[in-house]
A and B are shown apart, each in its own frame.
Chain A
Amino acid sequence: MAGLTLKNVIKRFGALQIIHGADLEIEDGEFVVFVGPSGCGKSTLLRMIAGLEDISGGEIAIAGTVVNDVEPSERHIAMVFQSYALYPHMTVRKNLSFGLTMNGNPKTDTERRVAHAAEILQINELMDRRPGQLSGGQRQRVAIGRAIVREPQVFLFDEPLSNLDAELRVQMRVEISKLHKQLGTTMIYVTHDQTEAMTLADKIVVLRSGRIEQVGAPLDLYDDPANQFVAGFIGSPKMNFLKATVHAVGPDGVTAAVVADPSVRLTLPISSRLEIGSPVILGIRPEHFSDAGTGEADLTVAVHVAEHLGHTSYVYAGVSGEPLIIERPESRHAGDQKTLTVGLPAKRCFLFDAEGQRLR
């Protein structure tokens, strides 16, 4: 087991810079998830940790040792690929033992490790099959098994569940979580799925365009996003953003007026210096709208459609062309109405400046 340190890590492909100075501290035994939209550099960063991509600048240290110039095979890491990357011509048993056998590991030890991994992942009955004879979920188990037998210091997962169907994804997610508890090894996991990030991580690293936007515990990111991007990325359905302007600045904070309906005004306890009339963005999560009359302000929206999921409903609405998603638990008739009035509780709202930075 080992911790990791990334210091000002940079990646360039020719003139194109992909990673812009990433700094990160990963504790020993931590489950860290890199999350971000496609092309944000999360897989590249993972591959740099694995040694499959060169480091253009900065330093990566595993267990205190700088590994910039250390071969991937010597970094004591194991990686699970999105496409599984199993050896197609080998049986499951051979897939698991291949690396160890090639490295001259004693046969009895290899057998012990393979049996142990098979036990953990419950793939005993698949040992003599080839990858082509396995389902997606089974292949993923084998891929994880191949990583386990290495007994690495760090596990790297590159979007391991994206090729699985929704149900299997949930199942495997739980299993990976269990595996982490069982092994206690440092794990770094890349995904674009914020639900996976929220459910698996001890620590989430949100990336955008090669920059780390925020690092923190899942609920810290949900409760206290550093900027509009993180606020929008963490949480499902995503946070609503309404254009607003600074209406007044007083000792209680900043009063923002919603542009779509200037009569909707909210005072948030914000101490940032703001000029009256300057544009800001008001953020509120779909689940945080309250009933009309119970918040600091009421907002009336035009209802477009509603999705009824049984335990809750999502109302897709708009106010002066700005789209909104409102969650209405228990409501099964939200779609019948033409308009809907909801309350805006000030303590659940966030304010961002025009550049998307959080105003506190």
Chain B
Amino acid sequence: MRVHNRIAYAFLAPYLLIFATFWLWPIISSFLISFQNTRVNPWRFAPSMNWGRLVSDPAFYNALYNTLIILVIQVPVMIALATVMAVLLNSPLLKARPLYRFAFFAPVVVGEVAYAAVFRLMFSADFGIINKIIGTVGFAPVSWFDNGTAAMALVIMAVTWRWAGYNAIIILAGLQSIPGDVYEAATLDRVGKVQQFFHITLPLLKPIILFCIVLSVIGTMQLFAEPFLITNRGGPGGATETLGLLLYRQGFTSLNFGYASAIAYTIAGLAVAISLLNLFFGREAK
């Protein structure tokens, strides 16, 4: 038996080694680093330095505020949109369904840098198509990259554009698992289509939607690419700086790995806490 175990571990060893080196150790190491003063050489153990700074750092609160604003606006809007898209994609009336499915999913496949470049062009204050359209309906052009609120809206729109289709495909899978005869029974029960959506579709999709919300919360807590690439590294003046961006700035621009590690752990802790809250409030009644 013990020999068998040894052989089994021998086969597992390459994976376990890689797992321990590149996954487990960095997690432990960054936790330890968060208790170090990394602004001196060699690093020194200073348990309250980074965590103490975190609770009093206006830049951290600004990033946290921005991240939470994006979370609170973007996640519900995106999930609602994704649900509507999934219902439309599931409609038997829709022609060329595979084409639409691909089109909605495509943003996930497109490289971040490429799509960020396209968004920057589209939202360019002077020659972007968005401002042109806004102009033709009679509104003043918007300085998407210079106005903090507009920049935030831009980030929210970009993230929503990128991930709504992805979530729609997951929700679509959930929709397709609801048997058609439940709707037929409801139709014969004289329940209208809208009532069917709110009383049958949505409750039955709840676990799937909850899953999408948790995934989106985790994603948004780590948000980096959009504010970095589209709104000029969290600009204007930190108006779109997220926790992910602050972490990057601290770790890889200021090379303050101790503080960056503390931020990383805060992001992970918040993501877990918010996800648990979601699961708690969305749990099935016994």
Contact = CB atoms under 8 A, between A and B. Distances in A.
Interface of A: 50, 52, 72-74, 77-79, 81, 83, 85-89, 98-99, 102-103, 146, 150
29 contacts: A50-B188, A52-B187, A73-B187, A73-B188, A81-B181, A81-B184, A83-B179, A83-B181, A85-B179, A85-B181, A85-B185, A86-B185, A87-B182, A87-B185, A87-B186, A88-B204, A89-B200, A89-B203, A98-B199, A99-B189, A99-B190, A99-B191, A102-B189, A102-B190, A102-B191, A102-B195, A102-B199, A103-B190, A146-B185
Given A85-B181, A98-B199, A146-B189, 5 more contacts: A72-B187, A77-B188, A87-B186, A102-B189, A150-B188
A87 B179 contact: no
Contacts of A102: 189-192, 195, 199
Interface in B162-216: 179, 181-182, 184-192, 195, 199-200, 203-204, 206
Contacts, number: 60
A72 B193 CA distance: 13
Contacts of B185: 79, 81, 85-87, 146
B158 to A, nearest CB: 35
A337 to B, nearest CB: 51
A77 B200 CA distance: 21
A99 B189 CA distance: 5
Interface residues of B, number: 18
A73 B189 CA distance: 7
Given A87-B200, A88-B204, A89-B204, A98 B182 contact: no
A337 B199 CA distance: 66
A98 B183 CA distance: 13
A44 to B, nearest CB: 14
A268 B182 CA distance: 54
A146 B184 CA distance: 13
B237 to A, nearest CB: 48
Contacts of A79: 184-185, 188
Pairs A-B, 3 closest by C-beta atoms: A99-B189, A73-B190, A85-B181
Contacts of B195: 102
A279 B285 CA distance: 70
